Structure 1
């Protein structure tokens, strides 16, 4: 029996989510999988996917190399290790995250608030996402290493590297 046979169809689908969304956290997987709590996510990871994921130094969930091969899904981040200063070379993100990436302050500009980024998204793309969705997009980009947070009166954000150094690929979801 191969490892491929050992995973249920649901486990393979959820493993693909882990690969695609990494680095991620329980809350993001909870929303993706429609579960009621982060502890349900933890139970599933430990019970079904124990050999295919790990937590990095920041306690974020990442898939093993074997997991990516098993489900044949591109990881959400390429690069981003110590060799390139932690900045990813490619990120795969949903549409709103791509729009946020496009308008958020560059690495040499003054960081900006969530509301400032929201207003720039509205202006640039003629869309009106909820402020909480923009906040989540910024936090997801931060976890991927594309955006940094600067704490002033409120948390503010800017890119970690010039836009042209990171390729953004929009995912289906």
Structure 2
């Protein structure tokens, strides 16, 4: 099956962002709903993606070969519960990774991470964007959630154990 430019671009997003959810692709593709994402995947990219045991969207090996981007994570490492050596993430996720509490530090609330991002990078992201970034990093096994009065976050690994590449 030959892909259109749009399909190839969107497939590259699936590869780059995996493991991902409808909501992340909805944001990346500027669609109205997660249902639209599902319909697009089924109608255009059905041969190139699957859902894992946690219902996260992942690309097939064939999809990885078709596009010129690195997968968001090393699938084997995460499948084994391990830590990927390299993650390819959007700029905000890279910034969150840089400022979130380390593995030996006290975990931080989403608002505390938001404040740290604001201070470190002189930007003003939305709190929901920071929450999504933290959850995405959690799915990549590099951030963990510590449940206190509210969910809090800290690195699951030493910061220098993972190479973070900013996807453009």
Q: Distance in 2 between matches of 1:29 and 1:53?
A: 13
Report if the CA contact (8 A) 2:26-2:34 is conserved.
yes
TM-score, L = length of structure 2: 0.92
Q: Distance in 2 between matches of 1:95 and 1:89?
A: 18
Offset at 1:49? Answer: 1.1
Unaligned runs of 5+ in 1: none
Q: Is residue 17 from structure 1 mapped to residue 13 from structure 2 by the alignment?
A: yes
Deviation readout 1:129-168 (Å, 9 max, x if unpaired): 2222211211111122211111211110011111111100
Offset at 1:96? Answer: 1.5
Residue among 129, 132, 154 paired with 2:125: 129
Deviation readout 1:29-73 (Å, 9 max, x if unpaired): 112112222111111111211111011121110001110111122
Q: Which runs of 4+ in 1 moved over 3 A?
A: none
| Distance verdict in 2 for CA 1:65–1:142, change over 3 Å | same
Q: Distance in 2 between matches of 1:25 and 1:144?
A: 12
Equivalences, count: 167
Report the 3-state secondary structure (helix = DSSP H, G, I; strand = E; otherwise coil) of the residue aligned with 2:85.
strand
TM-score, L = length of structure 1: 0.89
Match of 1:69 in 2: 65
Report the 3-state secondary structure (helix = DSSP H, G, I; strand = E; otherwise coil) of the residue aligned with 1:88.
coil
Q: Distance in 1 between matches of 2:45 and 2:51?
A: 13
Q: Distance in 2 between matches of 1:86 and 1:60?
A: 17
Give the greater-gyration-radius structure (CA): 1
Q: What's the Cα RMSD here?
A: 1.5
Match of 1:157 in 2: 153
Q: Distance in 1 between matches of 2:141 and 2:112?
A: 20
Unaligned runs of 5+ in 2: none
| Distance verdict in 2 for CA 1:16–1:136, change over 3 Å | same
Offset at 1:118? Answer: 1.3
Residue among 6, 15, 25 paired with 1:29: 25
